[in-house]
Structure formats: structure tokens, C-alpha cells
Amino acid sequence: MRIFFFALVLIFSQTNGRSLPKEIDCQLPDSLKTEIHGYQNFVNFILKHVVKGPEANQTYNELAKFTDTFGSRIAGSTNLERAIDYMLTLLYNEHLDNVHAEAAEVPHWVRGKESAELIYPRQKMVALLGLGGSVGTPKDGIIGELLVVNSFDELKAKADQVPGKIVVYNEPWIDYPTSVKYRQFGAAEAAKLGAVASLIRSIAPYSINSPHTGWQDYEDGVKQIPTACITIEDAEMFRRMAERGMRHSLISIYLYIYYAQVHMVQAMIIMVVLVSGHLDSWDVGQGAMDDGGGAFISWRSLVILKRLGLRPRRTLRVALWTGEEEGIWGGQAYFNAHKHEKDYFSIVMESDIGTFKPLGLTYSGKNKDAQCIIQEVLKLFKGINATQLQITNEGPDIGVWENAGVPGASLINQNEKYFYYHHSEGDTMTVEDPYYLDLCTAFWTATSYIFADLKDMLPR
């Protein structure tokens, strides 16, 4: 059996605006506290070993080699298939146990050529990226008049103007979960009112003329219209033009989409603490940040422990998911194949919101004692100021396990600029820092080891 897995980054990937919980009043038994504190030397050793010792810079170097060689890795692509084979070989050569891939079905959506050009009141090329799952335009493209709205409410208020128009959403950046609804549902909402296409202002807080792609969801029974994201700069300009009374701006859009439906792809798992990230990426940039970093600190954790001959009480598995970007296809397939094992998983972990300076962990379970244990474990990382605990669901691919009652955790990191690069050509090795990758690797290695090694599983 071979699988890869994945998850809907749309809803989960956002730490902004989340408030830190107050440290709760914990009543852990002294024996458990002593057990946890006993790992302090181990933590210190791993930090030194990874950050200043023989493993220093290796996560960065491995990630750079991987992303430079394979580039972007959208589900179903040859790039991803080659990347999976490469990882299987690499992990096999590191003598990890039970290196294998499992099968998952994923959509295979392929961007062809695309372009957009403002043709009235003046000529201007408009940078754009078709959105994942979008249909293409006719061969000669679409020429239409723009209707700019800042919200779904404004769209509805202008319903009589929508038929035949190309709707531009110039929604403000608030935070990812709030603003991404325009990317996700903008085409369907515009189509219901008769629009012929929709253009979405990129979901990002900052731009240097970069369009940011991502998945979008058509609605059953609603006409599927071509949809793409444009830059913040162009969306703002179209809005200003409209406000000056230029009501007849014309744009020509051309999207050529190959769309090969569901596709079998590989995935690997090494197995019952699960650490993970997704190996697939969008089809732009290098997928170095989303989620090369998360995937690489995960497999590196196991390799480092293996090289050191450190074997925790419980099995540590690494999963490198596939088809995350199109909606957690690999994550779901893995859950379907392994849900009978759910009582054996102490915790499932995924890093998918950046691997900048590590700050702590999210925890998604409801059990207060488990929260207390994680809080106590995090105190071991005072030396690198990575002691934050946030209560939330985070990793997209582990969401299905969390919903089934398995405790989940994700890496909190200093990711204020994450959405500068997210799903754009800007997601490359240039945003990655070797030292922070080392810190994340050490933190991820030590925390997953401790969870796998504690005498008792985390209470649920």
C-alpha cells in the first residue's frame, strides 16, 4: 500500500489575531513533573547537536537541494512523483524502518498559459494566476467590462450590474480565514448573479506586484466561470478608476487549463507519534515555505534521532502528505486507511505555517491534563524562548485525526511575513533561514521524541 495525504490549508493556516491562553492551573502529579523535567539535558543536547553540532545547516541544505531540483510540486505532477521517489530513496538510505508510500487519489489540475490585459481606458498587462480548480476561458479568451466590489454585500447591492461583467473583488486584507472566503467562493457568488468571470485581489497583507493562487470552490448547480487572482496593486487601481467614474474599463482574460481529474499518487509514511508536513505545493515558486520547511523538519527529526541511536518508547512516524493544497486528499486517505489505529496515536503533529523562529506549539485537544503536560514540556525550551502554547486546531492534514479525538499539535513560529510569500512565486529558498530551520528542527525533534517517550500516552 502506498499513500500520500493532504489538507485544506484554507481554514487552518493562520495564527494572526489569536490570543494566547492564560497559563491554566495545573495539578500534574509530582512524578510526572519530575519525569518531564528529566528531559532537560536531552533537550539541551539536541539543541546543541542540531544548531551548533554536526547537524547544523543541514535542514536548510537538504531543503535547498530538494526545492532547487524539483521546483514546485503540485499534486499529480511529474515534479511531485519524482520528489516522492527521491524522498523514499533518501529515507531508505538513512535506514529508517518501514519506508514506504501509500496510495491516495488527488485531483490533478494543470495550469496552461494565462494572461490578462487591460485594454480600455489604456493598455496594461495585468499579472494574474488562475485559481486552483478554475475552468479555462474559450480559446480566444474573454473580453469584458470590470465591475469592482469590495465585499459580497456590495456585490449583492449591485446585483443588477453584474450580468455579463467580469467581477473584481477588492476585499481588504483582514486575516487569512476572513479574507480567503473571496478566493474560495468569489467565482460561485459572482456566477449566481450572471458574471462571466471573476478576479480576486490576492489574499496577502503585502505585495510587490505578486499574484497569490490557491484553491477555489465552485458550487453545485452554479455555472463554473473562469477565476484568477490579480495583485493588490491592480485591484486597488481598478477600484480607484471605478470611483472616478470610469465605469467601462475593459479587460481581456485568457486562461488555458488542462484539467485531469482524480489521479493516483504516492505518499510515504514511516511509522505512534506522528510528525508531518506536506510535500506537495502550489505550481508556482518552489514550495520551500509551504510546506517544504514543515516536511523537512519532520523527516529530519527522525533521521537525527536514528543517527544518534535514540529510540523512544513509542514509534515515531513521519508522514509527508500529498494533495494538501487541493483539499487534504492525502490526509483524508491516510486517515481512512489508518483510523483503526487511532487509539495508538499519542499525538499527531504537523508544521504547515512556516519554519521561521520557533515560538512554541498549538494544542487542539480538550483534555486539560494533556494541555498541562504540553505546557510543562514547553518549559524545557525556555533557553530558546519557545514556550508558547496556543489552544487551536492548526495543521490541515492532521485535522481529521483531531476531529476523531486524537490530540494534535502544530509549530508556532514567528511567521508575520508568511502571507507575503504564500502561494506565490515568492515562496522560494530565499525566505528560509538556515539558523531558524536548525532551531525548528531541534525543537520538533525534541518535542516529538518526548511525546513518544513519556511513560504514558497523552490523556484524551
Q: Which stretch binds a copy of itself (CB under 8 A): 174-182, 208-216, 313-321, 408-416?
A: 208-216
Q: Is 112 in the site for a copy of itself (CB under 8 A)?
A: no
Confirm whether 117 is a catalytic residue. Answer: no
Task: Output 190 or 232, the one with its CB closest to a copy of itself.
Answer: 232
Name 274's bridge partners: 317, 348
Strands 250-265 and 227-230: unpaired
Q: Which of 240, 307, 311, 366 binds a copy of itself (CB under 8 A)?
A: 240
Task: Output 276 or 286, the one with its CB closest to a copy of itself.
Answer: 286
Q: Which of 210, 301, 355, 441 binds a copy of itself (CB under 8 A)?
A: 210
Q: Is 101 in the site for a copy of itself (CB under 8 A)?
A: no
Strands 166-169 and 347-350: unpaired
Q: What is the CA radius of gyration of the chain?
A: 23
Q: Residues with Cβ < 8 Å from 184, sequence gap 6 or more?
A: 10, 215, 216, 217
**C-alpha pair distances (Å), 358 with each of 17, 411, 441, 442, 444:** 18, 7, 9, 10, 9
Select which of 324, 325, 402, 432 is catalytic: 324
Which cell is 438 given?
Answer: 536548525
CB of residue 138 to a copy of itself, shortest distance in Å: 23
Q: Is 245 in the site for a copy of itself (CB under 8 A)?
A: no
Task: Output 237 or 253, the one with its CB closest to a copy of itself.
Answer: 237
CB of residue 430 to a copy of itself, shortest distance in Å: 5
Q: Residues with Cβ < 8 Å from 403, sequence gap 6 or more?
A: none
Only one residue has cell 510543562, namely 376
H helices of 94-218, in order, are 152-157, 176-192
Q: Is 207 in the site for a copy of itself (CB under 8 A)?
A: yes
Q: Which stretch binds a copy of itself (CB under 8 A): 22-30, 94-102, 235-243, 359-367?
A: 235-243
Q: Count of residues binding a copy of itself (CB under 8 A)?
A: 32
H helices of 114-223, in order, are 152-157, 176-192
Q: Footprint of a copy of itself on this chain (CB under 8 A)?
A: 64-65, 68-71, 79, 121-122, 124, 127, 207-210, 232-233, 236-237, 240-241, 244, 285-286, 420-421, 424-426, 428-430
Catalytic residue ranges: 324
